[in-house]
Structure 1
Amino acid sequence: MGLMDNLKGKAGEFKEKASEFAGKHSDQIGSAVEKAGGAIDKATKGKYTDKIEHGASKAKGAVDDFAHKPQAPGTPTDGTPGPTS
């Protein structure tokens, strides 16, 4: 295995860990995006409120798309329905 293969493998591992982290902490990330948007809106005295809200919405959507949500125990990962109670 060459150096590039090793780097690609490590990059894949890092992406997976970042995705899991984003899934576990998506509420906190969303709150931080809202807080940053509010600070920017205040600093610009409301001049760009619509654009800031749109950007914050897009950012939260991107986090949700990237994030792996933690699965409930016993849930299959292959797309098949889980056990019924």
Structure 2
Amino acid sequence: MGFLDSLKAKLDPARDKVGDLAQQHGSKIDQGLDKAARTVDQRTKGKYSDRIVSGTQKAKDAIDRLGQKKDGGSPPAA
């Protein structure tokens, strides 16, 4: 077994736990991401608004994919 295989085997239980949490608390996580994005945007005076919006959306998409894995289906292609 190679290094990456052993690392993947060790991380699988953590990924399952994160998937469970994402499924249970997805809306709270989304609200937290929105709040953090607003705070950062205000503190940077809108200088990086487009990047903040893009990063926030990518984070929300990742949370959605993690939550969907636990539904039994395969995750959508990224």
Question: C-alpha separation between the residues in 1 aligned to 2:57 and 2:11?
Answer: 28
The gaps in structure 1 that reach 5 residues or longer are 72-76, 79-85
> What is the one-letter code of the residue matched to 1:53?
V
Unaligned 5+ runs, structure 2: 74-78
* Structure (1/2) with the larger helix percentage: 2
Spell out, residue by residue over 1:34-56, the C-alpha distance to the aligned partner (whole angstroms, 9 max, x if none).
00000000000011111111110
Work out whether residues 20 and 69 of structure 1, in 8 Å CA contact, stay in contact via their aligned partners in 2: no
Aligned length, in residue pairs:
68
Structure having the higher Rg: 1
Q: Distance in 1 between matches of 2:31 and 2:69?
A: 17
Moved over 3 A (4+): 68-71
Q: TM-score, normalised by structure 2?
A: 0.71
Deviations 1:12-48 (A, max 9, x none): 2221111011111010001111000000000000111
- For residues 47 and 25 of structure 1, what CA distance do their matches in structure 2 show? 31
